[in-house]
Chain A
């Protein structure tokens, strides 16, 4: 079980990564997170929504209303150019963080 405190700083990078290639909607992202982490981490709905909201107000995401081929109208999120820059910054930060923490892991 991952503590929510530890992962909190990296919810942004997870969401930005999953929107890198194409726009996506809430549950789609949520399921991709669970799948990619092989079930080790499931992001709570409130965490996910609050991250969408924060990323959008920071200008890293843009939301629009879209209709799936099935016919359901959903809110889609897509990455903005600033979002890509933010992703790179967070990525560099994580590489350093990981290196530092690894020094203290036996």
Chain B
């Protein structure tokens, strides 16, 4: 029973206390109480009755217009720190996030494929795979083919990233501002997040499992057949392909999870986390640009494409480490 009045209080919390609003609240409360009592009398449990009453409550925006409080309804929810989101906007945001996750996943897979091709072709050029080519000068044509593929695929990936950036630009406000949802829609999102949890867990465990398998294969063959460079290079390629698949799994699971978190102001998007997150984001793009420069410079100067990829896992782990430190530092400051 209390749950019903809490729900109603929440719904009306940001409305001005005019005569009409107070009357509406009392009337609605009366109807809900009557319905609750009737359901209990018919043998429903407290939970069932509360659930049914809340689900049949309707939508407050329907009333905002009737009572001539639509202006207040709007302005009360668009305070500085808050952005209010309707059910339709929320659904569109989740839909866009799903598409963005696929596009970014495809882009990253394309880049990894490019790196695979340059590793493979430079290995081929050095005669790693066929003894007939071995011994002499590395065959420059193969390196050129590998590099060409790398650039085409990177260009494709950049195109996908830019497109995603444009379509998701208008949702960037959810990153910084706290989101205010209609309480009824909030319940729906909470349930959706709950249902998504096992999906996310499954995707992460499959992704981690795949990467571990590929790393294990590489490590074992590195020990057993140290001299078989063809095998090692192939396994590095397999590892990179596995990383591509796993990253796609992490993104499709993780981005939807964080879309729910953004709408609910949970996880990484509580008030404190939003503050430190913006610090991380400020230096994330110069950081990754620097990594790309180092990778390309190293690779072109030494022409050692089959080793320089090691920069990526190192950069990735360092990034995770540094953002954790920033989060810890900002939260201890408060």
Contact = CB atoms under 8 A, between A and B. Distances in A.
Interface in A9-35: 25-28, 30-31
Contacts of B38: 27, 31
A45 B66 contact: no
B31 A26 contact: yes
Listed residue (B38, B56, B57) with the most chain A CB atoms within 10 angstroms of its CB: B56
Contacts of A27: 30-31, 34-35, 38
Contacts of B65: 50
Please tell me the size bucket of the interface on B.
10 to 19
Q: Is the interface of A mostly helix, strand, loop or mixed?
A: helix
Interface in B254-281: none
Contacts of B24: 49, 53
Contact of A74 (B30, B57, B63, B67): B30
Interface in A68-83: 74-75
B144 to A, nearest CB: 62
Q: Is the interface of B mostly helix, strand, loop or mixed?
A: helix
Contacts of B35: 27, 30-31, 45
Interface string A37-49: 0000010111111
A14 to B, nearest CB: 15
B30 A46 contact: no
Contacts of B136: none
Contacts of A42: 56
A44 B58 contact: yes
Please tell me the size bucket of the interface on A.
10 to 19
B59 A26 contact: no
Given A26-B27, A53-B67, A75-B27, A46 B34 contact: no
A46 B73 CA distance: 15
B62 interface: yes
B63 A50 contact: yes
Listed residue (A31, A47, A49, A50) with the most chain B CB atoms within 10 angstroms of its CB: A49
B32 interface: yes
A74 to B, nearest CB: 6
A54 B66 contact: yes
B67 A46 contact: no
B66 A48 contact: no
Listed residue (A25, A45, A48, A75) with the most chain B CB atoms within 10 angstroms of its CB: A45
A26 B30 contact: yes
A28 B35 CA distance: 9
